[in-house]
Amino acid sequence: MSVEQYFSIICDTLVGLSAIVVAVVAIIGLKTWRRELKGRVLFDIARKIIRLSIELRANFEWARFPLSTSNENSGRQKAVGESDGEAQARDAWYVRWNRLKPIMANIQTLQEMDWEIQTLLGDKSQKISTAIKIYRESYANLKTAIDEYFEIKVEASIKESQYNNHDYLTELSHIVYGTSTDDFSKKIYSTHEQLAGELKAFIK
């Protein structure tokens, strides 16, 4: 075999090897890019979820804050023949319903982000999903308590009679109205801490 043939074989071999090296580098680069992209996406989602959780915690506290102003019920259309007692109950109901709206919007956004984080993390997102589920259940419990409490109040004002099950009404009242130190609020705060704790690893 001539020198030219050996040289040709060596050149072909080097070209083949270089192609393999380029392919390997490209694969490694792609995997690195994917990891970096996933990290950036997780950082962005984690930051948004924590921010939403802080906002949600404040909105829950405001929704249950006992005091309200006349401006908050000014948009309610009053029915003809409402007594003062019925109007007072319906005004308070209207205020509580309006205060629930930001919570509902927060929950909807969190659920969308929950789906995204499940897609990215798989089973590792379970604790995050559990925390979001607690928020969703807390909202449902508060909404139900508000409706039941004020239905009773409106009916009692129309009939001009007292509701017989005082203990149940008190139980509902403690959900509808509250402070930052009661059991309902403590559950919301602990849920936020759980959520933030799980997500802090992605925002370092």
What are the residue boundaries of the structural domains of the chain, listed by start?
3-202
Q: Over 90: is that where the pLDDT of 204 sits? A: no
CA gyration radius for the chain?
30
Rounded-to-integer distance, Cα 142 and Cα 117, Å? 27
CA distance 69 to 137: 28
The answer to whether residues 60 and 53 touch, using CB atoms and an 8 Å cutoff, is no
The mean predicted confidence, pLDDT, of the chain is 84
Check whether 5 has a pLDDT greater than 90.
no
Q: Report the sign of the C-alpha dihedral through residues 114, 118, 120, 124, in that order.
A: positive
The pLDDT tens digits for 165-199 are 889 999 999 999 999 899 999 999 999 999 999 99
Q: Which amino acid is at 16?
A: G
Q: Give the residue-averaged pLDDT of 40-55.
A: 90
Q: Is the pLDDT of residue 134 over 70?
A: yes
Model pLDDT, residue 121:
85
- Secondary structure element (H or E) that encloses residue 181, with its range: none
Kindly report, residue by residue over 27-46, the tens digit of the pLDDT: 444 444 345 545 687 888 88
Please say whether the beta carbons of 110 and 132 come within 8 A.
yes
pLDDT of the residue at 11 = 52
pLDDT, position 32: 47
